[in-house]
Amino acid sequence: MSRERLVVIGGDAAGMSAAAQARRRRAVGDLQIVALERGRYTSYSACGIPYWIAGDVSAMDHLIARSPEEFGRADIDVRTGHEAIGVDTGAGEVTVRGPSGEQRVGYDQLMIATGARPIRPDLPGINTDGVYGVQTLSDGEAVQQALAAGPKRAVVVGAGYIGLELAEALVRRGLQVTVVEAAEQPMSTVDPDIGARIADVVRGIGIDLRLGEPVKAIEGEDRVRAVVTTGGTVPADMVVLGLGVAPETALAAAAGIACGASNGVATKATMESVSHHRVWSAGDCVESHHRVSHRGVNIALGTHANKQGRIAGTNIGGGYATFPGVVGTAVTKICELEIARTGLSSREATGIGLQIVTVSVDSTTRAGYFPGAQPITTKIIAERGTGRLLGAQIVGREGAAKRIDVLATALWNDMTVGELQNVDLSYAPPFAPTWDPVLIAARKAADAVGG
Amino acid sequence: MSRERLVVIGGDAAGMSAAAQARRRRAVGDLQIVALERGRYTSYSACGIPYWIAGDVSAMDHLIARSPEEFGRADIDVRTGHEAIGVDTGAGEVTVRGPSGEQRVGYDQLMIATGARPIRPDLPGINTDGVYGVQTLSDGEAVQQALAAGPKRAVVVGAGYIGLELAEALVRRGLQVTVVEAAEQPMSTVDPDIGARIADVVRGIGIDLRLGEPVKAIEGEDRVRAVVTTGGTVPADMVVLGLGVAPETALAAAAGIACGASNGVATKATMESVSHHRVWSAGDCVESHHRVSHRGVNIALGTHANKQGRIAGTNIGGGYATFPGVVGTAVTKICELEIARTGLSSREATGIGLQIVTVSVDSTTRAGYFPGAQPITTKIIAERGTGRLLGAQIVGREGAAKRIDVLATALWNDMTVGELQNVDLSYAPPFAPTWDPVLIAARKAADAVGG
């Protein structure tokens, strides 16, 4: 019997989901599994870091789903502090740098789950002490340590999801916070009108949100002292980078493994590389099929990483599973404002040549007369003429955002707004008005697409 | 010009939605609209009555969406206190009994929106003073009046949605409450295991829930004194009937207007009677197409009434719209337990000859480590072999129940559980675990349907 070896590069959601699923299907006598993780932690929730910094989550341990020791007990050999620095697909070997030097590890199956790297602009002073990212638990530890020293003023660079989540966390930790953003709106994944609502609540908790102000430099000698933007100089005791992430595919690209237009590793629906047999990829480093735009996209999100990793692991384990793509669903909560989106934004839709109509409906999360009814604004983007649902965005208070899932499921099934307006959604006064906000928006969109 | 007349029988959600929509499309010079309502109120939320009794809703007025006077200003002639007692489809006339006697009102278009009547079992003593229904606002007023007299003990007959909502309301008003139910579980629209969870919370707030105890009689002379069941005699100062409703179609049936197997008025998808041209029906009195069982069903629910009424009104108004059916979605909240269902229950599915598998998954509404994460149990019923989603049920705490809408939308689109397991639902720690409970349940169902 010749035992196969699976080498997993990257010990977070995608890699370890693949490892766990492959192990479930193939016993240790049949498949050896080695997971290489350059950091110290496995399977953690990077998306939970802002809440740990804010204090909602009391300890870092809570963000770790499964430790290296736990994987060890499942016969998965996790090697933390080991970084893959080269892949030789011809020889089937990975070059690994670990505490005791470099070695080469052979593989029969290779899982590339190298994740994403935070975007770090090439600015003067970017490497000054006191500039932090928040991509890994170690990054989070560094921020916590910085906060322990009692800084007064923080500047967050970037007003996307991560930037705003962090800005709120820092306000709650007592800092005076400025967010600087190059674009004219926060959270460019939503339409400008929805972005304006977000700007209002962000400013409402005292954050100095500066839009249309690209950063030019970070000033300081020993430590950060200020951030210089096109609009002026903002004093800062610490700077947090929240500019989003890019797929970490340097290793794959250097090995000749094909990447797509989004720079993510290009795979088939099975998550096997389009260019290399028995090489798999999943998670933040991979390219996904967008079911609405039919483009390749790279979306860094734990839920995709888990699904894709599991699918790769099923296939490595001798089963058969495919990843059907994404529709671009995302959700967050900033200062009690729930924000969600799915599908294409207006700009994305027109950007690929679609003729659109948009409607926006203000309603309530419960029957208007029911205690605790909260405001909810539902925006729908549909194709003019055909009525095809293209995207949706929701902002509101408690109970608003998760309604995006109905719209995501409708998009998934290529529904038109005319079809969507009559779907049998649940109704009772504590849960919805007689017409759920989603249905009202669909109805108004159905009226608009023909006109 | 010959002006048409639309006569609407029934002034609640379905009838008045039709009237309002027809008016939007046809001016008063083209279409006269007369709405006959035997009670005093129009367009109210009957489903809000338990919350008014509980005190969540402070005044009855809040349950009224639109008054007769408001309709009057929109040129809709609402005649409250007028009961339609006969329809002559040959002559195109309705016989109406009003405060000043009987009259005949001619129609060109007739809208039958007679709603539902509460099931009132033919028991000894059923007409004793102190026995209440809760179908209309007037019923609700009578219960409020009874409560003002300070009763100590109430018996609710029936442990369905309405019965349990009322039982909770009465507990919150300080009464000692017994619920007697003939079946072996509360809420027979869900599976027994889910029913058991409901029974636990109902008993947890001190309600004496008696299952498998049909009522035999109501005792009392001037007023109710006790309810006699097969299990014994339960003292009661008041009795509330919560046995559900049946379509109120006596008038339609007497006029020869066709009803379906569910006893609801049988209509085409346009909501026009299958037997009579220019006769329309909608709401609690109508039969709907169930998209999963492909049977005719009668479901009394405000959201259907509104949609169907609007569709009838669109067609009466010269437009074109169709009602695509229902999937049996329902939601309620009993003692902080959120309960939702869609599609077929296990019994309904096997009752029409389907081979099923069921899976049940316990999870949390948010990431497990996130503050406020609440328990949620998601049950999925799927067809063995094909994996076709047939139904789902959810019980849990805050944030649980509305997830049923994803399953309803999936059912609407004939999805299999295999397809559902990878849908791009929103994820962030304040809103869901990395794998949303719906996806976990779908995944486990996908694993089970083949086995």
A219 CA: distance to closest CA in chain B (Å):
34
Residue B417's pLDDT is: 98
- Looking at chain B, the whole-number percentage of residues with pLDDT higher than 70 is 100
Give the pLDDT score at A2. Answer: 76
Res A451: pLDDT: 63
Mutation pick from A308, A424, A440 vs chain B, by most beta carbons of B within 10 Å, is A424
Residue B1 has pLDDT above 60, yes or no: no
Give the H/E segment covering residue A194.
helix A192-204
- Contact, B248 vs B178, CB < 8 A? no
User: Whole-angstrom Cα distance, residue B57 to residue B60?
Assistant: 8
Exposure on the CB side of residue B49, measured as CA atoms within 13 A: 25
Say what the pLDDT of residue A4 is: 97
The question of whether B47 is a catalytic residue gets the answer: yes
Q: Is there a contact between B56 and A423 if contact means CB atoms under 8 Å apart?
A: no
Instruction: Give B45's contacts in chain A (Cβ within 8 Å).
Output: 367, 369, 429, 434
Reading phi first (left if > 0) and then psi (alpha if -120 to 50, else beta), residue A278 is in left
| List of chain B residues whose C-beta atoms are within 8 Å of the C-beta of residue A307 | 422, 435, 439
Query: Which ipTM score applies to this complex?
Result: 0.96
The pair of three-digit structure tokens given for residue B118, joined into one six-digit string: 């509460």
**Nearest C-alpha of chain A: how many angstroms from B431?**
7
Find chain A residues with C-beta within 8 A of B304's C-beta: 424
Please tell me the distance from the alpha carbon of residue B407 to that of residue A291, in angstroms, as a whole number.
20
Q: Provide the pLDDT for residue B451.
A: 63
Q: Which residues of chain B lie closer than 8 angstroms to A416, CB-CB?
A: none
Which tens digits make up the pLDDT trace of B250-284? 999 999 999 999 999 999 999 999 999 999 999 99
How much is the pLDDT for B135? 87
A331–B426 C-beta distance less than 8 A: yes
Best B389, B434, B444 member to test A by mutation, with max A CBs in 10 Å, is B434
Averaged pLDDT for residues B183-210: 97
What is the per-residue pLDDT across B388-423, written as a single tens digit (0 to 9) for each? Answer: 999 999 999 999 999 999 999 999 999 999 999 999
pTM of the model: 0.96
Task: Provide the shortest C-alpha distance from residue A258 to chain B (in Å).
Answer: 25
CA distance B263 to B436: 40
For residue A450, the model assigns a pLDDT of: 84
Q: Which of A13, A331, A371 sits opposite B428 (nearest CB)?
A: A331
**Closest Cα in chain A, distance from residue B276 (Å):** 25
Contact A220, A226 (CB under 8 A): yes
Of B329, B424, B432, the CB nearest to A426: B329
Residue from the list A370, A409, A436 with its beta carbon closest to the beta carbon of B51: A370
Measured between CA atoms, the residue of chain B closest to residue A436 is B303
Closest chain B CA to residue A433: B303
Chain A, nearest residue to B410 by Cα: A409
Quick check: A370 and B306 CB within 8 A? no
Substitution target from A405, A419, A431 for chain B, most B beta carbons within 10 A: A405
pLDDT value of position A44? 87
Per residue in B9-29, pLDDT tens? Answer: 999 999 999 999 999 999 999
Query: CA B282 to CA B284: how far, in whole Å?
Result: 7
Residue B63 tokens, joined:
């349950």
Residue of A nearest to B303 (CA): A434
Report yes or no: A292 and A344 within 8 Å, Cβ to Cβ.
yes
Report pLDDT for A429: 95
B265 CA: distance to closest CA in chain A (Å): 20
Of A306, A369, A425, the CB nearest to B408: A425
Task: Report the distance separating Cα B23 and Cα B337, nearest Å.
Answer: 41
All residues of chain A having their beta carbon less than 8 Å from the beta carbon of residue B406 are 405-406, 409
Low-confidence ranges of chain A (pLDDT < 50): none
Query: Alpha helix locations (H) across B155-263?
Result: 161-172, 192-204, 250-254
Q: What is the DSSP letter of B133?
A: -
Whether the predicted pLDDT of B2 surpasses 80: no
